[in-house]
Structure 1
Amino acid sequence: MTMENSTTAMAPFLLRNLITSIFIFADKSLLNLSERYKLLQFIRYLLIQLLLFFFRFLPSIFPSLIAKSAVDFPLKSHHVKREFPTQGDSGIARALSQILSIINDIPVSSRKYETVRNLAENLIDENLREGCESLRKVNQSVLSTAFARTLCLLERAMSEQEREQFDGVDYSLNRVLRVVRSLGDGARARLGVGGSREDMLPPGASAEKLAAELLWLAEKLAACRSAEEAVWRWGSASDLARLALSAPPRLQGSLVKVSAFLFKHVKELGDGEEVKDDKDKREKEEGRKMKILMTWLPLLCRASNGTDAPILSAKEREEVQKVLEETIEMLNREEEQEQVLALWLDHFISCPNSDWPNLQACYVRWCDASRKDLLLH
C-alpha cells in the first residue's frame, strides 16, 4: 500500500479520533455544571451517543476508503456469542446449553418462553431419571455455565437500573436514553470502539426475570447434587449484593429467595469424607461459608417483608434462621464468628422495618463462649 493510499484509508479513523477528543476535553470543562444541572448532563450524554451513532454510517459515507482499509482495520463481528459446550461434548449437552441460553434471551411475555422453559425442564429431568453418572455430569456442567451466565446478566441489568436512578432523569427521558444508548452500543460494536454485542443485555433480560431464573437454576443444580457450585458463585457475587441493597422491593424479594435457598445448602459444604480428611479443602470450604455469610446477610436484614405478601413463609424464615445459626457456629475461628455476628448486628439494628433474621440467641452464645475463653486464659 502506498503512502497516499495509507493516508486515505486512515481518514475515517483520524476523523473519529479527532471528534472524540473534542468531546472528551469539552466534557472536562462541563463536568461541574453537569453535576448541578441534570438537563445539561442529559444533553451532553445525548450528543455523545449521537456521535457514536454517526460512526455506524461511516462505511456508507466512505465506501471506497473502508473497502481499502478493511484488511488493516477489520470490523468486529456483531453476532451474539452463546456459551455452548465444545465440540468434544455430547449432542445432548450442546442442545441443553443452547436451550438454557435462549431462556435468558426470551421475554417472559413471549408465548414461546414457557415452551422453551418446559423443554429444558424435560431434558434435565430425563437425564436424571436415567440414573447415569455421565448424564448427571452433563446436567451439572451445563447448569453451572448457565448459572454463571445468568448471574453476570443479572449484575449488568441491576447496574443499568442503578445508573438510571443516579441520573435522576424522569421516565420519558429515560426512554429516550435507552433508545440512544442501544444505537450507540450497536455503532461501537460494529466499529470496535468499545464494548460489543456480547456485552449487551438480551432484550428479554429484565432483572426480576433473571433473578427468578437464577433460583430455578439453583434448584436444578441442587437436584443434580451440585448445589455447592451455586453457593460458591453466589457467595462471590459481592458487587451484586451491594446493588441489591438499593434495588426495588420486588427485586429484593427475588434475591432473598435465592439467598434463602442457597443458605439451606451451605451446611453441605465440607460434608464429604474427602474434605474432612484434607485440611486445605476444609479451609477452602470454610472460606466459602464465610464469604456467603458476609456477602448476603446485609440483604436478609434490610430487605422488606414483601409488598403484597411475605417474601418467605414463617416456616421458611425459621428454617433459614436455624441454618444461619448452625453455619456461623460451625466456623472454626472465633474471630470469623465475631465478624459475621458484628455485621449482622449492625444491619439488623439499622433497619427498623425488619426483625429477621434474629440471631440474638446465636450472638449471646458467642459472647458466653468468648467470656469463658478469656477466663481460661
Structure 2
Amino acid sequence: MTQDRYSPQDIEQKWQERWQQQDAFACDHHSDKPKYYVLEMFPYPSGNIHMGHVRNYSIGDVVARCKRMQGFNVLHPMGWDAFGLPAENAAIKHNTHPAKWTYANIDNMRAQLRRLGYSYDWSREVATCRPEYYRWEQSFFLRLLEKGLVYRKKAPQNWCPSCHTVLANEQVIDGLCWRCDSHVEQKDLTQWFLRITAYGDELLQDLQKLEGGWPDRVLSMQRNWIGKSTGAAVRFGLPAPLDGVDHLEVFTTRPDTVFGVTFLTLAPEHPLVEKLIEGYEKADEVRAFVTRIRNMDRLERQSDNLEKEGIFTGAYVIHPFTGRQVPVWLGNFVLADYGTGAVMGVPAHDQRDFEFARKYGLPVKVVISPE
C-alpha cells in the first residue's frame, strides 16, 4: 500500500534507524578520499535543544552531507561544552550533584539531536567535563605557560553575586544578569590571560589572505579587535611616590602633540586612584563616581555615543618636558584594560578630549597648526 501523506514520525524513524545500524556517518581514517572536517560549536548541556541550536546545526549538516556526496571523507563530530561554574550553579539550584545533572542533560540533548537526524559521527562524541578530554587542555595550558604565553593579573570583571560567576559583556542586560536578573557588579579578580599580542603582527598580515573572500566589514572588525597601535609610552612623574610608583604612564599614537597636554584622564578602575585621592576633601565624591562608572555596561562605555563624564581627583602629575603640573581626572570613557588605563588629554588635537575639556572648563593649547 502506497503512502500518500508524508509522516515524519514513520519516515524519519525508519531512516535514522538504518543510518545507525550501518554507521552511515562514521569517518574512516584509513580512507583514501580527500578529507573534510565540519565542526559546529558544542552546545552547553542546559537540558534542551532550542531553535538557535537547530538553526546552527542544520547549516553544518547541510555542508557535511553535501561534501559526502561530492566524494569527501567527512569528519562531522559532536560534543558538549560541559565544564565550569554554570553546571555547579545549576546543580546547587536543583539540589543535585553537578555530574548527575550534566550527564542527564547530555543524554536528553543527544536524544533530541538524534531525532533531528543530523549526520554526526557519534563515535567521536566528547564532553569537556571528562578527564580524557580536559587533560589535553591542561597539557596545552602548561605548554603555553612554559613559552610565556599565559600570565596572571587582576582585572575588573562583570560579577553576578547570585550566580557567583563572571559574565561576558553581552550577558549583562541593562545592568542585570541575563540568567537571574541580579544587579551585576564590577569586581577586581585575579585571572589568567593569553598573550595573543605576541601574534598580533602575524594575525594582521594573514588577514590580507582573506581579502576578497571575507566581507570588508568583518575584516575591519578583526583588525580593530587585534588593535595594533604604533606610538610611544610617555611617563608623567608623580610629585611623591605612591606605593613605590613614581610616575603614571600613558600610551599615545600622537607623541608630536605631547606639548599640548593640559590634563590626564585615568580609568575609574586604575589601581592608583585610591592613593591619588588620599586626603582630598572631595574624595567621597570621587569614590561615588568610581562606583557608578565601574557598574556601567562595559559595551556602553566603549560606545561612540557615550556622553563623556569625569571628575577631578585633586592630584597632579609633572609634565616630562615642561615640568608643569598637569591635573589628573577620571573619565568614564577610559578602560583599565585598554593600554595603560591612562590617556593624555590633548583637547586642541583630539575631538573627544576637546569635548571633555569644554564640558569641564579645561584649557586648550594648540601646538600643531597647518601652514
Q: TM-score, normalised by structure 1?
A: 0.30
Structure showing greater Rg: 2
Bigger relative contact order (CA 8 A; separation at least 6) = 1
Between structures 1 and 2, the one with greater strand share:
2
TM-score (norm 2): 0.30
